[in-house]
Chain A
Amino acid sequence: MKAGAVITEPGSSEKKHTGSWRTFRPVIDPKKCTACTICWMYCPEPAIIKGKPHSVDYRYCKGCGICARECPVKAITMVREAPCEKTP
């Protein structure tokens, strides 16, 4: 513990996997993805990994859905993480 509560490890927040926040997860269709990087650009975490196709870093993705909405070729679908039980 450093005097004055100084944090000397830059980016230590990456130890916190905020993916546990999600209710919906983005699924990128590799056949539709053109690797345009728009989802990567607009992801707040960031949780998109550039590539052919782009992929999601599910450790951090909070499921906001910006990527799905902004994707120009509609290659991303938001899928519910777990089925919801309806109360009787």
Chain B
Amino acid sequence: MSVVSDIELVAPGHGACAGCGCILTMRHIMKALGKDVVISMATGCMEVSTSPYPYTSWRVPWVHAAFENAAAVASGVARALKVLGKSNVKSVAIAGDGGTADIGLQALSGAVERGENILYICYDNEAYMNTGIQRSGVTPFGAWTTTTPIGKVTRGSDRPKKDLPAIMLAHGIPYVATASVAYIPDLIKKVQKAAAINGPTYIHVHTSCVPGWRIESDMAIEIPRLAVLTGAWVLYEVENGNLNVTFKPKRRPISDYLKTQGRFRHLTEQEIAEIQRRVDEQCKKFGID
């Protein structure tokens, strides 16, 4: 537990839901980074819940400009820091899955392609949660959202999760990693590794959402843990093209993960089997049995 610093750079009194996995992720990202950062954050749950004028939860310099441009704002910040000779201050962009995978993809791709010295962290609760649970490009197959409802004609999301880390890897950047709110020391280590690199780095954190996943607030850690233990979410890092799977679980059946969440409650045995098949395929790629 000594890897978790005592510093609190995200103050309590914020408006995140009780049991929010995302704000816990912010808390630990900031512990990993320390105070010498500038955070550029996209519109979303984390931005809105931490900055209602005149109350801010941020104890570090923080800027919010719009929804789709965290990477572009962070790039401008990074260049200004360079111009001002502040080499000890890191520019970090933070956005949700909506603000990264969909509307934010252009700015992210452009920033990393340019080789900007920014760490980009995507907190992925698998839907546009701030606007009330609409599907995003990384909403998993089968999930209920308000725009993929369970009806007579269509039932839940029929598209697979867009592979953001793979897209980042295709840009040839020095460090790409996945992390989970349920594995804090692993998250901290990866954030510190990425932040120390001069160049574009990317971390994709799987975070829970109590209202969006239709779960009890006290299960907000247990359920993302199950995502990792069932192989639905793989923890890995790729450093200069070299893959390292940072945790290889003895896999539990995917139903252990799915049955805990209301957003998957409607799934039939057939649909669960299909999801199991996809998870098996993914895990084979990472050498997880």
Which A residues are within 8 Å of any B CB, using their own CB?
5, 7, 9-18, 21-22, 36-38, 41-47, 50, 57, 59-60, 62-66, 68-70, 78
Q: Is the CB of A7 within 8 A of B56?
A: yes
Chain B interfacial residues counted at CB < 8 A: 37
Q: Is the CB of A18 within 8 A of B13?
A: yes
How many Å lie between the Cα of A11 and that of B28 in the bound state?
Answer: 16
Contact A60/B13 with A5-B53, A36-B1 known, Cβ cut-off 8 Å: yes
5 pairs across A/B with beta carbons < 8 Å? A11-B57, A13-B50, A18-B12, A44-B24, A46-B12
How many Å lie between the Cα of A65 and that of B65 in the bound state?
Answer: 34
Q: Is the CB of B53 within 8 A of A7?
A: yes
Residue of B nearest to A62 (CB): B18
Contact A15/B53 with A44-B23, A45-B12, A60-B13 known, Cβ cut-off 8 Å: no
Contact A64/B19 with A10-B59, A16-B55, A45-B12 known, Cβ cut-off 8 Å: yes
Q: Is the CB of A44 within 8 A of B219?
A: no
B49-83, CB under 8 A of A: which get 1 and which 0?
Answer: 01101111111100000000000000000000000
Q: Is the CB of B19 within 8 A of A44?
A: yes
Q: Is the CB of B59 within 8 A of A66?
A: no
CB distance from A71 to the nearest CB of B (A): 11
Q: Is the CB of B11 within 8 A of A13?
A: yes
Contact A11/B19 with A41-B184, A64-B217, A66-B218 known, Cβ cut-off 8 Å: no
Within 8 A of A (CB), among B110-139: none
Q: Is the CB of A13 within 8 A of B27?
A: no
Determine whether B14 belongs to the interface, using a CB cutoff of 8 Å to chain A. Answer: yes
How many Å lie between the Cα of A7 and that of B11 in the bound state?
Answer: 14
How many Å lie between the Cα of A49 and that of B8 in the bound state?
Answer: 12
CB distance from A53 to the nearest CB of B (A): 16
Residue of B nearest to A44 (CB): B24
Q: Is the CB of B220 within 8 A of A64?
A: yes
B1-42, CB under 8 A of A: which get 1 and which 0?
Answer: 100101010011111111111011001000000000000000
Residue of B nearest to A50 (CB): B6
Q: Which residues of B contact A15 (CB under 8 A)?
A: 13, 55
Contact A13/B218 with A41-B184, A66-B19 known, Cβ cut-off 8 Å: no
B15, B19, B24, B56: the one contacting A65 at CB < 8 Å is B19
How many Å lie between the Cα of A15 and that of B11 in the bound state?
Answer: 10
CB distance from A44 to the nearest CB of B (A): 4
B175-194, CB under 8 A of A: which get 1 and which 0?
Answer: 00000000010000000000
Q: Which residues of B contact A5 (CB under 8 A)?
A: 53
Q: Which residues of B contact A10 (CB under 8 A)?
A: 11, 56, 58-60
How many Å lie between the Cα of A16 and that of B27 in the bound state?
Answer: 18
Known A10-B11, A45-B12, A64-B19; further 16 A-B contacts with Cβ < 8 A: A9-B54, A10-B58, A11-B59, A12-B55, A12-B56, A13-B55, A13-B56, A14-B12, A14-B13, A17-B13, A18-B13, A18-B15, A37-B4, A44-B27, A46-B12, A63-B217
- Across chains A and B, which 4 residue pairs bring their CB atoms closest together, nearest first? A65-B218, A64-B19, A11-B11, A62-B18
Q: Is the CB of A63 within 8 A of B18?
A: yes
Q: Which residues of B contact A16 (CB under 8 A)?
A: 13, 55
Residue of A nearest to B60 (CB): A10
Determine whether B102 belongs to the interface, using a CB cutoff of 8 Å to chain A. Answer: no
CB distance from B189 to the nearest CB of A (A): 14
Q: Is the CB of B57 within 8 A of A13?
A: yes
Determine whether B216 belongs to the interface, using a CB cutoff of 8 Å to chain A. Answer: yes
Residue of B nearest to A67 (CB): B218
